Structure 1
């Protein structure tokens, strides 16, 4: 690829996906149990200070224990929710049963592009479990942007489709992350202008951005008027999976050339975005394709 063509391509390719999200927690045992019992994830690795959870062998969640980390303050930016995507309404119905049995359902919505359940983990981190509607059913505006709305979700009809599974299906992944930020303009400039995500839709106090034609990989909002960077429990980092090692190398080179500081991390690199939120990049493994 010549230099001019490379400059026209987004830093995050259209084929990128979400990888893992990481949380700093005070009580590792309690938090692991919640994500096993309510979300249906399985423990892939465990030590005294950390746990890796996933579905079908692919990791989607890292829990990092730090009993001394202070709780997130009311003015601090950070995580609104991590959104775990299941492959079907059957799986979403099973998730509803698990949440009702082992957690507490905070809400449920039909977002036109997806159907979603909401709950909160023991450390106060927001959790969404959702299933996408077929892409051909996603409503679109005249400019082809995706229309994401909020309507009631029929929970009785959903639970009637449940297969009663205790674990999330192996296809379950991290569909998106939704962040609480201090400035929509600054965050859009970073994720859209610097990283190359497309703004898929906007609402009052919120923007939804994605690689390619997905409805969103990153949501951001200012609904709660948060102003301070996070420092303590909560979101530690989240990750984009790029198609291959060459894409990772290219992204790192282009960001460095744009004077964006990057740090090498486990087969990829990390940078710090607006509000001090860390974003990681690595190549997608074969089992994550």
Structure 2
């Protein structure tokens, strides 16, 4: 029986794991990035992305939206590190910043034009998205969701696509308001990773960690989530055969954070990983694990 057959037979949206399942209220927390030059990155993340500094210490800084104390991005400086290549490294493909509404995305588009920053653009049916690279080549998506009521499920799978974005329509949504930085309510919506093999990645993230499969028809890719979201996690093999993980001296994703409602949920997820043969170690406030290619994740309880 295929994934589509199982999903259709169950009558559910997506395919739930056989064992532990992440709670529907699961969301993502901060992403931690290794960068070459902290001052250069802070200027770009502030002037282009519109994030503000929440905390700064020697060689690192925590960034968030304006009017919001929630940490979104941590930058850690490693002078002499190599910029991220366009492809060929396992680990981060992009992390995605979710804006609270379409109007905010519209204002962001106009802002990018004003500062002369180039970006890709796509309509994914469930969302509208822009794609950028930071000064070290790390991929970033900035997007806004369409209402869930407009999402279409077919035989258990969510309909997603990559189509041209109607920029004229999007720009009209700003209602003449200027961009004043990432607004309150901005969050990390998802993380998308290069992996070595989809089946092996699914065994870790779906079978052991407990994400649902929601989209599996993209060539070389799989999308997973909790609570029926379009995806908290994207996985792909587009880095190519023989790609190796990003190294200690590369600009890269250091870790990403999964926030579950309670400490007991984090404990159950860690126990599920351990019972499947993966390492999960206690850290302050939760658990740390890593996928088969060394991409680190933190499981923490909602504050």
> Taking structure 2 as the reference length, what is the TM-score of the superposition?
0.86
1:229 to 213, 221, 245: 245
Residue 27 of structure 1 is matched in structure 2 by 37
SS of the counterpart of 1:94? Answer: helix
SS of the counterpart of 1:108? Answer: strand
Residue 233 of structure 2 is matched in structure 1 by 218
Deviations 1:132-190 (A, max 9, x none): 0010101211x231111122112122223222122111110000011111211111111
Residue 59 of structure 1 is matched in structure 2 by 71
72-81 vs 26-35, which moves further = 72-81
1:77 to 84, 90, 104: 90
SS of the counterpart of 1:124? Answer: coil
Residue 3 of structure 1 is matched in structure 2 by none
Contact 1:39-1:98 within 8 A present in 2 as well: no
What RMSD, in angstroms, separates the aligned Cα atoms of the two structures? 1.8
Residue 4 of structure 1 is matched in structure 2 by none
SS of the counterpart of 1:105? Answer: coil
Residue 80 of structure 2 is matched in structure 1 by 68
Gaps of 5+ in 1: 1-6
> What CA distance in whole angstroms lies between the structure 2 residues aligned with 1:181 and 1:103?
33
217-226 vs 111-120, which moves further = 217-226
Contact 2:158-2:214 within 8 A present in 1 as well: yes
2:139 to 120, 126, 130: 126
Shift of 1:103: 5.4
9-18 vs 225-234, which moves further = 9-18
2:187 to 173, 177, 193: 173
Taking a change above 3 Å as real, the CA distance of residues 152 and 72 of structure 1, as seen in their structure-2 partners, is closer
Shift of 1:42: 1.5
SS of the counterpart of 2:71? Answer: strand
Contact 2:208-2:272 within 8 A present in 1 as well: no
Contact 1:114-1:133 within 8 A present in 2 as well: yes
Contact 1:37-1:166 within 8 A present in 2 as well: no
2:200 to 167, 170, 186: 186
Taking a change above 3 Å as real, the CA distance of residues 37 and 10 of structure 1, as seen in their structure-2 partners, is farther
1:244 aligns with 2:254: no
Shift of 1:36: 1.6
> Taking structure 1 as the reference length, what is the TM-score of the superposition?
0.90
78-87 vs 151-160, which moves further = 151-160
Residue 127 of structure 2 is matched in structure 1 by 114
Shift of 1:9: 5.4
Residue 104 of structure 2 is matched in structure 1 by 91
Gaps of 5+ in 2: 1-16
Contact 1:105-1:117 within 8 A present in 2 as well: no
1:45 aligns with 2:60: no
The number of equivalent residue pairs is: 278
Deviations 1:91-149 (A, max 9, x none): 001111222233523311111000111111111011111000010101211x2311111
Moved over 6 A (4+): none
1:196 to 192, 210, 232: 210
Contact 1:37-1:98 within 8 A present in 2 as well: no
